[in-house]
Structure 1
Amino acid sequence: MNIILLQTDIQWQKPNENRTHAETIIDTLPQVDLVILPEMFTSGFCMTPSDIAEKADTDTLHWMQTIAEKKNVAIAGSVSVEDGGKYYNRFYFVKPDGSYATYNKKHLFTFSGEDKEYAAGDERVIVEYKGVRVLLQICYDLRFPVFSRNRGDYDMIIYVANWPTVRIDAWNTLLKARAIENLCYVAGVNRVGNDPGNSYNGGTVLLDYMGKTIVAAEDGLENAACGNIDIQILKDFREKFPALNDADKYRIIN
């Protein structure tokens, strides 16, 4: 599977401009299977969702479906949405035929007050696309390995993020840890630029199941990094090195 990780700057609370900007970049890209955008790519990491949240399954989702169909590509990223009177940081994974999966961020970033404005999801979401089973995760989820522990049910994790420069070493380290401990590919897509509270330098990367870099975006700049994952190579490695079979048995009690 060929994947583009789109490391963009995000204009603060300007969804139309951000969608247009992303589409302009996507139009210049080669044909691939999947394009991944950052967390809250239409607004930035905004803690006043009443100002920017979209109704569920409307503006940005329809835009993603249009892009997916036009380009024959899957497209992924998270958006602030209002659904049933609650706000969610919602990850959309949209396939070329317009079908889609959603994941509501489970681990809300209390340090910024996200837990006071958004409702937490409680479902672990895996989507299958072109023979690849993909676990959907958002930013702060990266710090909680139990929730994302591979039960033999996925091949790649996607983390979309607004992860600030001041904590970027944690981002770099934890992405590698998640790849190694779960014997899976990891795509981490972060933004660049500034919002009213933080600066961001990227760190967007695609890792293999040993934590080795397949491709990385250039830090501090908007750019698209294109890399390939091979599921057969992953399966062969898991058969030769069956560490997942030795994992501790447990269950999560909410």
Structure 2
Amino acid sequence: MSGLRVAAIQHEIVWHDREANFARLAPTIAGAAAGGAGLVLLTETFSTGFSFDTPGIGEREGGPSSQFLAEQATTHGLWVGGSCPEVSPEATDDDQRPSNTFVLAGPDGTVHRYRKIHPFSHAEEEKYVRAGNDFVTVEVDGVRLSLFVCYDLRFADEFWTLAADTDAYLVIANWPAKRRVHWQTLLRARAIENQAYVVGVNRVGSGGGLEYSGDSTIVDPLGEVLASGAGGETVLFADIDPAHVASTRAHFRFLQDRR
């Protein structure tokens, strides 16, 4: 089968301790590589916890978290992704808010960046985080991957916009346990309505006064759950096959009926 084996790492985060998180995650990434993964996904803010209101939390673009992802990618010969708070080189002196940046690093040193488009206004996130503007779709081993972060999952129109050129949506998150039903439902909805895979990776444990239940899930283009995990640290594996996306869309010609 052509395609890509994905490993979704559902993990806890040591609050505000990048080096501790790097040390904890490196062996898990190595294990995922040994399991045949061509792409390994960590969570949103995998190295710090979701703490954008903390002064100085932002890193320069290409800082320690990005470097960790790139080093893991080249070491194991695969793609590795996760998000971190990065201050863009275009940031002005009077606005040093970081972006919530999904960094996807490849084995050849290639690095792609998606800056989360939707700050979570319910928590006044826009005060601390610069919103991104551009969608990002990356082709890896013949699989077209579109990148999203957490709250983006609620905006179906943006997934629709990218559907024709997407085989799998990657959604990394710090989604609180108290809204876990929303997370679970929306992941499957985005897969079903776009006839594409969805890989949702969420953290577990606690941080910043919130509890996280994980519920990481990999869904196929028909809405079938290929792998899921709740409660504790785990690694989910699934094979992403673009031929399955194409055949599903050819058989059920739903996308062409959109207006």
Which category describes the TM-score, using the shorter chain as reference length?
A: over 0.9
Q: Secondary structure at the match of 2:85?
A: strand
* Pair 1:5 & 2:39 matched: no
Give structure 1 stretches of 5+ with no counterpart: 249-254
Structure 1 runs of 4+ off > 4 angstroms?
none
How far apart, in 1, do the equivalents of 2:255 and 2:28 lie?
A: 38
Deviation of 1:6 after TM superposition, in Å, equals: 0.1
How far apart, in 2, do the equivalents of 1:44 and 1:229 lie?
A: 28
Superposed CA RMSD in Å reads 1.2
Give the structure 2 partner of residue 133 of structure 1: 144
Give the structure 2 partner of residue 17 of structure 1: 20
- After superposition, what is the alpha-carbon deviation per residue over 1:127-153, rounded to whole angstroms, capped at 9, x for unaligned? 111111111000000111112214411
Q: Secondary structure at the match of 2:119?
A: coil
How far apart, in 1, do the equivalents of 2:257 and 2:111 lie?
A: 33
Give structure 2 stretches of 5+ with no counterpart: none
* Pair 1:67 & 2:79 matched: no
The worse-fitting range, judged by mean Cα deviation, of 23-32 and 119-128 is: 23-32
* Pair 1:34 & 2:39 matched: yes
Q: Is the 8 A contact 1:53 1:82 kept in 2?
A: yes
Q: Is the 8 A contact 1:47 1:113 kept in 2?
A: no
Counterparts of 1:98-117 in structure 2, within 5 Å, are 98-117=109-128
Give the structure 1 partner of residue 60 of structure 2: 55
How far apart, in 1, do the equivalents of 2:204 and 2:97 lie?
A: 28
How far apart, in 1, do the equivalents of 2:244 and 2:216 lie?
A: 23
Deviation of 1:49 after TM superposition, in Å, equals: 4.7
* Pair 1:190 & 2:202 matched: yes
The worse-fitting range, judged by mean Cα deviation, of 96-105 and 20-29 is: 20-29
Q: Is the 8 A contact 1:73 1:95 kept in 2?
A: yes
How far apart, in 2, do the equivalents of 1:92 and 1:233 lie?
A: 27
Q: Which amino acid aligns with 2:180?
A: I
Q: Which amino acid aligns with 2:110?
A: S
Q: Secondary structure at the match of 1:28?
A: helix
The worse-fitting range, judged by mean Cα deviation, of 157-166 and 41-50 is: 41-50
Q: Secondary structure at the match of 1:188?
A: strand
* Pair 1:118 & 2:124 matched: no
